[in-house]
């Protein structure tokens, strides 16, 4: 079987399929593990707290997506959360603990403290562990190799691949295919001339290829904006300050210092409130004329004690220090940036698309999140549905 893409979903699929006995080839546009997963800072949601339940996680997720997601897909995502955390832990992901207990935070749209972290860059820690698992699984990996074409052939699919970008082509026959190449928003954001948090490799050609083959799509034009994209300093323009800044107490203010939104509302609510505030003429202005609102990061230490930001948000704090700004004493000017495609290829509970023998997982798939994604569910999606897609594809190939 063939796995296209090597972010969290692709690597989870490869490990799962190889464990089920499949002969696996992973093809990835650049290096194994490169992509959006490694950029995810905030954390991963799963109902592992004493006062939490997978039912509560389901309700929060379904509500945040405006009840447009497929309930059975949301259910399987939430139910798979605790097992996903156990699986990642077994692979070597060390989730942050306080006095021996898992650190859990409440993020926007969640009714419970449900967000787990592995340091400050949870996605990068997941990629590190998954990369090792893929290498140990025996899966074959072709790096710097682009999928050029996919066509039905006999009892499976013929994939045309371009290794090394040197114009040569190779074809492989796969009994089953897992598409895990992401939502491709970087390419679309560049075309529209707007900011994006996506990795440079996040372009939509694999999604478009599947749609051209007749795969059903859903919510394809539903894009999530990350509410707090940095506007200034210029060297950090577009960098998304993680939602944990607001979970720890950072507040949003207009130019007059007035708060205008619940900072822990779902992302689409917060992002739209910022856009509306700026359009109403109540935004602040950066030295280059760019508009935004104030994220008062100085409130974090005021609420939690001096040194809290430097300890809990060391990565963010240091990035701004290098850019000449101390977020413990200065507010950050922010404005929403394009972040995630909520929809994608329609899948069922086994991660099967409407193309026979083709499965999808991660941001390229649709129906799991509906019209808005709950923060922390993207990393969970890559693991839960990545593993399901790998197992399903292995069974189909068998």
Catalytic residue list: 267
Q: Give the strand pairing for 344-346 and 365-366.
A: parallel
Regarding beta strands 291-296 and 284-285, do their DSSP bridges make them parallel or antiparallel, or are they unpaired? antiparallel
Going 196 to 197 to 201 to 204, the CA torsion angle's sign is negative
> Could you check whether the bond before residue 233 is cis, i.e. omega within 30 degrees of 0?
yes
| The two three-digit tokens of residue 267, written as one number | 């992302």
CB-CB contact of 198 with 338 (8 Å): yes
Say if CB 13 and CB 389 are below 8 A apart.
yes
**Dihedral angle at the C-alpha atoms of 373, 374, 375, 380, nearest 10 degrees?**
-90
Closest by CA to 339, choosing from 242, 247, 219, is 242
Q: Is 236 helix (H, G, I), strand (E, B) or coil?
A: helix
Record the tokens describing residue 156, joined without a space.
């499976």
| Location of structure tokens 């996680």 | 57
233 in Cβ contact with 323 (< 8 Å)? yes
């Amino acid at each position: 079987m063939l796995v296209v893409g090597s972010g969290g979903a692709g690597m989870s699929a490869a490990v799962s399929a190889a464990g089920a006995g499949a002969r696996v080839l992973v093809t990835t546009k650049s290096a194994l593990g490169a992509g959006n997963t490694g950029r995810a800072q905030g954390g991963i949601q799963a109902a592992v707290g004493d006062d939490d339940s997978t039912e509560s996680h389901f309700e929060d997720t379904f509500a945040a997506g405006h009840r447009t997601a497929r309930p059975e897909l949301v259910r399987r995502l939430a139910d798979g959360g605790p097992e996903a955390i156990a699986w990642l832990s077994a692979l070597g992901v060390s989730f942050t603990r306080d006095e021996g207990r898992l650190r859990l935070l409440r993020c926007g749209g969640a009714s419970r403290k449900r967000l787990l972290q592995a340091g400050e860059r949870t996605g990068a820690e997941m990629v590190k562990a998954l990369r090792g698992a893929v290498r140990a699984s025996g899966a074959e990996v072709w790096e710097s190799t682009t999928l050029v074409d996919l066509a039905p052939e006999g009892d499976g699919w013929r994939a045309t691949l371009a290794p090394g970008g040197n114009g040569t082509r190779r074809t492989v026959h796969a009994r089953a295919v897992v598409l895990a190449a992401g939502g491709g928003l970087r390419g679309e954001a560049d075309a529209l001339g707007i900011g994006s948090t996506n990795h440079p490799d996040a372009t939509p050609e694999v999604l478009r290829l599947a749609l051209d083959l007749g795969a059903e799509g859903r919510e394809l034009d539903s894009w999530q904006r990350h509410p707090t994209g940095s506007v200034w300093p210029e060297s950090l323009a577009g960098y998304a300050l993680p939602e944990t800044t607001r979970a720890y107490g950072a507040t949003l203010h207009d130019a007059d210092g007035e708060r205008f939104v619940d900072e822990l509302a779902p992302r689409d609510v917060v992002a739209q409130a910022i856009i509306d505030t700026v359009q109403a003429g109540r935004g602040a202005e950066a030295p280059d004329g760019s508009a935004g609102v104030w994220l008062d990061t100085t409130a974090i230490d005021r609420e939690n004690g001096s040194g809290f930001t430097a300890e809990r948000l060391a990565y963010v704090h240091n990035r701004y220090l290098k850019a000449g700004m101390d977020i413990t004493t200065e507010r950050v000017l922010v404005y929403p940036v394009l972040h995630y495609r909520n929809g994608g290829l329609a899948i069922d509970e086994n991660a099967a698309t409407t193309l026979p023998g083709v499965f999808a997982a991660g941001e390229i798939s649709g129906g799991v999140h509906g019209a808005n994604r709950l923060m922390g569910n993207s990393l969970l999606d890559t693991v839960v549905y990545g593993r399901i897609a790998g197992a399903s594809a292995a069974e189909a190939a068998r």
